[in-house]
């Protein structure tokens, strides 16, 4: 194991077998060695800054039916909301005043926000706030991606969820793995910084699948990667499945840091939900980004992708103060710039 870690720190190049070996470490002391190696690599390439992204969840309407997701179309019990475009611009301006230099606009796949509407929101935000804009609104046409980039969007976040085609098909009715990957390639080719990622602990997922997920992220040239544990939602078909294991998420974050040493890796909200110190642990295992929620309070409890989601009751200002405290508690500093992959 130590030989693989040495190689990873020297070359940042591991094959599938070596990745599986690292992900399979059970021994606590050996896991600690893996996390330390990732932490050292993060320090060497990116320093102590943790970048903050203000997350605006602007619509919980979704035309998809992902089997694990609390806002899936099939969840008829959920009250749906949309924040009107000009209101989204105002929320982004408030986040800018709170100090955020990146805004993430996330929603279900909601055709109410056409390419034109998204361009209006993006231009409106750029007029009032000096921020980088990340979109996380799912699969769109090439033309939409192009126009939104021209309107000023900087980054795009869309997880492929799992690289195992068979599993992808089972979990995503009427969706097509190849189309999702093509979208990610289009996004990258248009000059966006590309964010992607996957879920850990999906029913039927193996360690080999997770190794393939990491290799696919390398192949796609991802600039940022979110990895989260699957958390079963009571109003979805997967309600009785087990949650993903936090240790496996942390090992995946650490291995990813070793093979993609300078990318942005968030300590995800799902990690913070599965363990009260989950985000701190992720920051010590290679992560360098946190995405505090800046969605107006009245909507937050309606954007429950999974139960128990943290920060449902905190106002945006409190969330920022809390996250800054969290960052300092692990000896790190709060980033002040845009925090992109390329500066
Ligand atoms: N609609 C956009 C998309 O498809 O990329 C963005 C929103 S989507 C709800 C955001 C992410 O939530 C998904 O990529 C998925 O990984 C995560 N998610 C959904 N349900 C989850 C669950 N039960 N546990 C953990 N993460 C979940
Ligand atoms: Fe939101 Fe702590 S991160 S209140």
Instruction: Say whether 323 sits in a helix, a strand or coil.
Output: helix
HEC sequence for 246-315: HHHHHHHHHHHHHHCCCCECECCHHHHHHCCCHHHHHHCCCCCEECCECCCHHHHCCCCCCCCCCCCCCC
How many CB atoms within 10 Å of residue 343?
A: 6
pLDDT of residue 317: 86
Pocket test for ligand 2, best of 98, 279, 319 (most atoms within 8 A of CB): 319
Terminal C-alpha separation, the chain: 34
pLDDT of residue 185: 98
Query: Residue 269 and residue 267: Cα distance in Å, rounded?
Result: 7
Query: Residue 205 and residue 93: Cα distance in Å, rounded?
Result: 41
- Which residue has a Cα nearest atom 1 of ligand 2? 319
Query: Residue 131 and residue 93: Cα distance in Å, rounded?
Result: 9
pLDDT of residue 80: 98
Where in the chain does DSSP place strands (E)? 49-52, 54-59, 102-107, 132-136, 155-157, 193-200, 224-229, 289-290, 333-334
Q: Ligand 1 atom closest to Cα of 158?
A: 5
Cβ contact 68:171 at 8 Å: yes
Long-range CB contacts (< 8 A, 24+ apart) of 312-316? 316/54, 316/94, 316/95, 316/98, 316/292
Residue 106 C-alpha to ligand 2 middle, in angstroms? 18
Query: Residue 40 and residue 48: Cα distance in Å, rounded?
Result: 10
Cβ contact 224:266 at 8 Å: yes
Predicted confidence pLDDT, tens digits, the chain (343 residues): 889 999 999 999 999 999 999 999 999 999 999 999 999 999 999 999 999 999 999 999 999 999 999 999 999 999 999 999 999 999 999 999 999 999 999 999 999 999 999 999 999 999 999 999 999 999 999 999 999 999 999 999 999 999 999 999 999 999 999 999 999 999 999 999 999 999 999 999 999 999 999 999 999 999 999 999 999 999 999 999 999 999 999 999 999 999 999 999 999 999 999 999 999 999 999 999 999 999 999 999 999 999 988 888 888 888 889 999 999 999 999 999 999 986 6
Pocket test for ligand 2, best of 50, 309, 323 (most atoms within 8 A of CB): 323
For the chain, helix, strand, coil in percent to 5 are 45, 15, 40
Residue 320 C-alpha to ligand 2 middle, in angstroms? 7
pLDDT of residue 343: 64
Instruction: Say whether 232 sits in a helix, a strand or coil.
Output: coil
Cβ contact 164:199 at 8 Å: no
Cβ contact 31:78 at 8 Å: no
What does each C-alpha distance from 41 to 18, 203, 254 come to in angstroms? 18, 32, 9
DSSP 134: E
């Amino acid at each position: 194991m130590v030989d693989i870690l040495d190689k990873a720190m020297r070359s940042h190049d591991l094959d599938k077998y070596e990745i599986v070996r690292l992900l399979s470490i059970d021994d606590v002391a050996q896991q600690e060695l893996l996390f330390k190696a990732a932490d050292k690599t993060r320090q060497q390439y990116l320093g102590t800054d943790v970048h903050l992204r203000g997350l605006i969840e602007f619509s919980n309407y979704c035309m998809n039916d992902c089997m694990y997701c609390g806002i899936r179309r099939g969840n008829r019990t959920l009250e749906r909301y949309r924040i009107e475009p000009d209101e989204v611009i105002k929320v982004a301006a408030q986040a800018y005043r709170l100090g955020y230099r990146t805004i993430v606009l996330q929603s279900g796949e909601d055709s109410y926000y056409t390419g034109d509407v998204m361009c209006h929101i993006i231009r409106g935000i750029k007029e009032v706030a000096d921020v980088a804009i990340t979109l996380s609104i799912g699969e769109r046409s090439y033309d939409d991606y192009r126009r939104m980039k021209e309107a000023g969007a900087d980054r795009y976040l869309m997880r492929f969820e799992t690289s195992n085609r068979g599993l992808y098909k089972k979990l995503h009715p009427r969706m097509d793995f190849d189309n999702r990957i093509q979208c990610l390639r289009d996004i990258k080719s248009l000059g966006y910084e590309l964010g992607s990622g996957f879920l850990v602990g999906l029913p039927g997922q193996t360690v080999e699948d997770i190794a393939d997920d990491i290799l696919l992220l390398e192949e796609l040239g991802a600039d940022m990667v979110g990895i989260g544990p699957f958390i079963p939602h009571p109003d979805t078909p997967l309600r009785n499945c087990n949650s993903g294991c936090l240790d496996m998420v942390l090992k995946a974050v650490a291995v990813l840091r070793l093979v993609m040493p300078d990318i942005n890796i968030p300590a995800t909200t799902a990690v913070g939900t599965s363990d009260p110190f989950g985000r701190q642990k992720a920051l010590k295992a290679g992560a360098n980004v946190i995405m505090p929620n800046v969605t107006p309070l009245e909507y937050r409890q309606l954007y429950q992708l999974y139960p128990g989601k943290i920060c449902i009751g905190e106002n945006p200002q409190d969330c920022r103060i809390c996250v800054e405290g969290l960052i300092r508690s692990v000896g790190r500093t709060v980033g002040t710039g845009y925090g992109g992959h390329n500066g």
